[in-house]
Amino acid sequence: MLEQLLIHQPKDPIPFMIDHLQRDNDYVPKIVILGPPASGKTTIAMWLAKHLSTNLLSVESLIAKEYSPLAADARMHYQKFKMVPDMLLIRLMQERLKEEDCVRRTLFSYGLSQSTEQSSLCDTGWILDGIPETREQALTIQTLGISPRHVIVLSAPDTILIERNLGKRIDPQTGEIYHTTFDWPPESEIQNRLMVPAGIFEGETARKLLEYHRNIVRILPSYPKILKVISADQPCVDVFYQALTYVQTSHRSNAPFTPRVLLCGPVGSGKSLQAALLAQKYGLINVCCGQLLKEAVADKSKYSDLIQPFFEKEIAVPDNIIMKVLKQRLDQQDCVERGWVLHGFPRDLDQAHLMDNLGYKPNRVFFLNVPFDSVIERLSLRRTDPITGERYHLMYKPPPTIEVQTRLLQNPKDSEEQIKLKMDLFYRNSAELEQFYGDAITLNGDQDPYTVFEYIESGIINRLPKKVP
Residue by residue, DSSP assigns 366-430 as: EEEE--HHHHHHHHTTEEE-TTT--EEETTTB--SSHHHHHH-B--GGGSHHHHHHHHHHHHHHH
DSSP state of 127: E
pLDDT surpasses 50 at 24: no
pTM score of the predicted model = 0.47
pLDDT digits (tens, 9 = 90+) for 421-435: 888 888 888 889 989
Residues 6+ apart with CB under 8 A from 329: 287, 292, 335
More confident position, 103 or 224: 224
* Cα-to-chain-centroid distance, residue 467: 22
> Which parts of 106-201 fold into alpha helices (H)?
135-143, 158-166, 188-193
In angstroms, the CA 78 to CA 83 distance is: 5
What's the confidence (pLDDT) of residue 124?
A: 73
Rounded mean pLDDT, 268-289: 88
Residues 6+ apart with CB under 8 A from 60: none
In angstroms, the CA 210 to CA 230 distance is: 20
Residues 6+ apart with CB under 8 A from 402: none
More confident position, 142 or 154: 154
Task: Kindly list the distances between the CA atom of residue 330 and the CA atoms of 93, 211, 324, 325, 341, in Å, as whole numbers in the listed order.
Answer: 51, 55, 10, 9, 10
Q: Look at phi and psi of residue 21 and say left if phi exceeds 0, alpha if psi is from -120 to 50, else beta.
A: alpha
What's the confidence (pLDDT) of residue 462?
A: 64
Do the bridges between strand 382-384 and strand 391-393 make them parallel or antiparallel, or are there none, so unpaired?
antiparallel
The region of weakest confidence among 281-295, 364-378, 450-464 is 450-464
pLDDT digits (tens, 9 = 90+) for 110-121: 333 333 333 333
Residues 6+ apart with CB under 8 A from 314: none
